Structure 1
Amino acid sequence: MLIDVMIEEARWRTLDLDALATRAAEATLAHLGLNSADFEISLLACNDARIAALNEDFRGKPQPTNVLSWPSVERGADRAGDMPAPPRPGDDRELGDIAIAYGTCAAEAEAGEKPLADHTAHLIVHAVLHLLGYDHVRDPDATLMEACEVAILGKLGIADPY
């Protein structure tokens, strides 16, 4: 099983989040030449209050955010703009954990006039890339990460979110 989804916020059930998250994560791994059968991810589908508490605990920011990710291993590239080292099947089976907040995601989708399912898929692709060592702190890394997101979302039939 690639994704273990735990739904705390019932409104997530309207999206068939298990299937949506699996499809997004599999597309992300396939884009990078990785076999999804070799890896596991945990996904917490929560509300804004829960993600705000997690955001404060782990990032010192006491407000809700759309998605958070905790990689099991830091895989980021040393040089800005370089590809992160891929996980090794067998050694790095557990890629990490993701939390996604319904209220913030729904508000962002509405404000951007995007289907909630498409925005959620984008955020899961984004979070899985974080688990794989991609980041957007340095400009060259952000360029690389956004290009990966756009390519993956295109394969899923989702328009460029940028």
Structure 2
Amino acid sequence: MKLRYKRASLIGAAIVAVALAVTLILSAFRSNIVFFYTPTQVANGEVPKDASFRIGGMVVEHSLERQPDGLTVHFVVTDTVKHIPVSYQGILPDLFKEGKGVVAQGVLDLEGRFIASNVLAKHDENYMPPEAAEALKRAKAAEATQTPGTAGSKS
């Protein structure tokens, strides 16, 4: 075999190996990536079906219900526009409180309830995940534009 053909076959094999490695890496990223959605996006059906995703917002005051088993809890997450009921079985973070920010990861069931596999609470008074803070800001802006005649009025 001529040197030219050996070199071409080595270059071809290297290209195939790199393409295979890139394909495997992208496949791993695709299967492990988890997207963040707001309660409004969930209510509007913009979430993936049968796939895990994250939902974030504020825990609605007086919505936390603990079940007798001590591990199952139900609460409602809102972005001030839409409310999504959440069920979680496990130990909640110490900083989890009603009226505070939360991010939950899980799936949506057929009845529209979010079944969380993981719940994260914000870790201090000034922190909120950037996605959740931006989503709350957009929701408040949308709510302000939908309620005409209330701007500038004082009660």
Query: Which TM-score applies when normalising by structure 2?
Result: 0.25
Query: Which TM-score applies when normalising by structure 1?
Result: 0.24
Structure of higher RCO (CA pairs closer than 8 Å, 6+ residues apart)? 1
Q: Comparing both structures, which one devotes a greater share of its residues to helix?
A: 1
Structure possessing the higher radius of gyration over alpha carbons: 2
